[in-house]
Amino acid sequence: NADMAMYEAKAGGRNNFCFFSRHMTQQANERLLLESQLRAALANGELRLALQPKYSVAARHLTGFEALLRWTDATGRVIPPTRFIPVAEDSGLIVDIGLWVLREACHVAAGWPAAGKPALTIAVNASPRQLAQPGFADEVARALASSGLPAAQLEIEVTENALLEKTGVVQQTLALLKKLGVRLAVDDFGTGYSSLAYLKNFAPDTVKIDRCFVTNLQHRQDNAAIVLAIITLAKSLGMEALAEGVETEEEFAALAALGCDTVQGYLTGKPLPLDEAAALVAAVSHPT
Ligand code: C2E
Ligand code: MG
Ligand code: MG
Ligand code: MG
C-alpha cells in the first residue's frame, strides 16, 4: 500500500539521516580528541624522529636520511603519521610540530662526523601549511644557525600539490630557501598534479619517485616506462632521481638499469630510532 511505503521511506530516511549525522559527529569528535592528544604529545615529548637511510645506487654508500615523525602515546600505543599528520594539517598544529621536527633534525645531523664526502644530508618533510607561513624560511635559517648544520646538508621535501599553491607566500618561501642554500626535493612525484612547468620553476635538487611506480618494477612494463621517463626528465634537468619504497633486490636491479641515482626503502633500511641511525653513521665514518 502506497501510504505505508511512503511512511517507511520517510522513517527509513530519517533513520538514515540520524545514522549519518551521529556517524559524522563521532568522526569529528575523534578528530578533536586526536588533535588535543597530539597537542599534549608535542608538549610532553611523546614525538620522536625515525631516520630512514638513503643509498647511492652506483656505490651503495649511505648518502643521508629522511626524518619521519613517530608518535607513541603514554599508554604505549603507536599512532601512524598517515593518521595524525592530516589532523595536524587541518588544525594548523603542523606548524608547531613541523618546527619541532626541523629543529630536532638539524640538531641530530649537526652531530654527525663530517667525514663523508659529500657530507650526509637530512631530509625533512614540509607541509603546505608550513610553506604558507611567511616566517618559515627565517625559522629554517634559525634552525641551521643554532644547530651549526651547513645549509647544503638540509633537504626540504615538498609534495607536488604544495607547489600548485598560487599564493605568493609559498613561492617566496621556496625562493628564500634556495637562497639559504638548502636543498629542495619534490616528494611522491607522479601522484599529485604533476606539472612540468611547476617542476621547471621549482627546480628541486631531488625528485623522489613515489613507491607506487617502484613496486614490482621488474614485472610491470607500465611502471618501468613511467620510472624511466621520470629519471630521464630529472637527470636532463640536472636533478637527482631517488626511488622511494624499494623493497626487493629485483626492484633495485631494475632501478640501477634505468639509471636511478639514489634509493630509499625497506631493502636498504627501515626508518631507524636515533641511536641506531647514529651507529650506522659511525660505522660508515670510521669503517673498521
Ligand atoms: P613520505 O614523506 O613519502 O615518507 C615515506 C613513507 O614511506 C614513510 O612512511 C616510510 O616509512 C615509508 N616507507 C619507506 N620505505 C618503504 C618501503 O620500502 N615500503 C613501504 N611499504 N613503505 C616504505 P611513514 O613514516 O608512515 O610516513 C608517511 C607520510 O607521513 C610521509 O610520507 C609524509 O608525507 C608524512 N610525514 C611523516 N613525517 C612527517 C613530518 O615530520 N612532517 C610532515 N609534514 N609530514 C610527515
Ligand atoms: Mg617525504
Ligand atoms: Mg615520499
Ligand atoms: Mg608519501
Query: pLDDT, tens digit, for every residue of 163-192?
Result: 777 778 998 999 999 999 999 999 999 998
Please give the Cα distance from 274 to 105 (Å, whole number). 10
Phi-psi region of 248 (alpha: psi -120 to 50; beta: other; left: phi over 0): beta
Compute the distance from residue 34 Cα to the ligand 2 centre, in Å: 22
**Cβ–Cβ under 8 Å, residues 130 and 94:** yes
Grid cell 650526509 is found at 120
pLDDT of residue 108: 98
Considering every ligand atom, which ligand is closest to the CA of 70? 1
Q: Whose CA is nearest to atom 2 of ligand 1?
A: 125
Q: Which residues of the chain have pLDDT under 70?
A: 1-22, 115-117, 287-288
Considering every ligand atom, which ligand is closest to the CA of 127? 1
Q: Which atom from ligand 1 is nearest to the alpha carbon of 50?
A: 25
Q: Smallest Cα–Cα separation from 284: which of 171, 119, 39? A: 119
Number of neighbouring beta carbons within 10 Å of residue 22: 10
pLDDT of residue 24: 72
Q: Is the ipTM of this complex over 0.90?
A: yes
Q: Smallest Cα–Cα separation from 52: which of 70, 65, 69, 62? A: 65
pLDDT of residue 115: 62
Name residue 281's amino acid.
V
pLDDT tens digits, 6-15: 444 444 445 5
Kindly state if the Cβ of 101 falls inside 6 Å of ligand 1: yes
Q: Whose CA is nearest to atom 15 of ligand 1?
A: 265
pLDDT of residue 266: 98
Grid coordinates representing 286 are: 670510521
pLDDT of residue 133: 93
Kindly state if the Cβ of 78 falls inside 6 Å of ligand 1: no
pLDDT of residue 137: 98
Grid coordinates representing 62 are: 649511505
Give the pTM: 0.91
**Cβ–Cβ under 8 Å, residues 52 and 120:** no
pLDDT of residue 30: 84
Across 30-104, the runs of DSSP E, i.e. the strands, are 47-56, 62-72, 78-79
Kindly state if the Cβ of 155 falls inside 6 Å of ligand 1: no
Distances (CA, A) of 135 to 67, 94, 98, 131, 181: 22, 14, 13, 9, 17
